[in-house]
Amino acid sequence: MQGIRCACRRAGSVAQLILGKQRNTFANPRWSRLAYQQTANFHIVGKRNAAAQAAPQKSTETKQTQTGQQAAKGAKGRVVSVIGAVVDVQFDEQLPPILNALQVDGRQPKLILEVAQHLGDNTVRTIAMDGTEGLVRGQPVTDIGTPIKIPVGSATLGRIINVIGDPIDERGPVNAEDFAPIHADAPPFTDMNVEQQILETGIKVVDLLAPYAKGGKIGLFGGAGVVLFWLI
């Protein structure tokens, strides 16, 4: 019995010692600050882990969407209605997904339509990326199978392209190796870079007195007729 009492007393002393150390630790400002930083780091890591777990699910949904878009590639349809830039197209086969690009056959320059809505009866409502003058009902349309893609990379530097990726600066075709869709998902939280960087404009006055941050917006203020175009 006496041995049990001694053991209980020792256990109580150890518990008091541990609690005393914890109190002393959090009473010390240095250790309190360290504990706060560790807690904050834990929350940040938890958020990044949650974002990393959500990323595979998002990528799976993206792959499923791409599979559906590719499945409708080459499907044939015909124009059934033209109201300005809004063109309705009816398909006999598989219906193209929303945001897919359609090309009107036998038209020069080429006319690209983007699927915006499913109307039922195998009919989709599209938005024309160019003028629809001369477009009539019954004209054949082909599903490209992908969203509208534009060239990307160093080959596009200094070039002027339209919304469908065709050059309009009369300098020949853009010899780009990579193409990217105009619609894309936002990058995951784990891939974002929150570091602030300066955008060098090459204008010494701007870079010295009013530097711009990368990824931000640039506002040019001035009255009518003031020469500001040299800053663009």
> With bands split at pLDDT 50, 70 and 90, how would you rate the model's confidence at 29?
very low
Q: How confident is the model at residue 193 (pLDDT cuts 50, 70, 90)?
A: confident
Is a pLDDT exceeding 80 seen at residue 123?
A: yes
What pTM, to 2 d.p., does this model score?
0.56
- SS3 of the chain: CHHHHHHHHHHHHHHHHHHHHHHHHHHCHHHHHHHHHHHHHHHHHHHHHHHHHHHHHHHHHHHHHHHHHHHCCCCEEEEEEEECCEEEEEECCCCCCCCCEEEECCCCCCCEEEEEEEEECCEEEEEECCCCCCCCCCCEEEECCCCCEEEECHHHCCCCECCCCCECCCCCCCCCCEEEECCCCCCCHHHCCCCCCEECCCCHHHHHHCCEECCCCCCCCCCCCCCCHHHC
Check residue 52 and give its pLDDT: 52
* pLDDT at position 39 over 50: no
What's the mean pLDDT when you consider all of the chain? 75
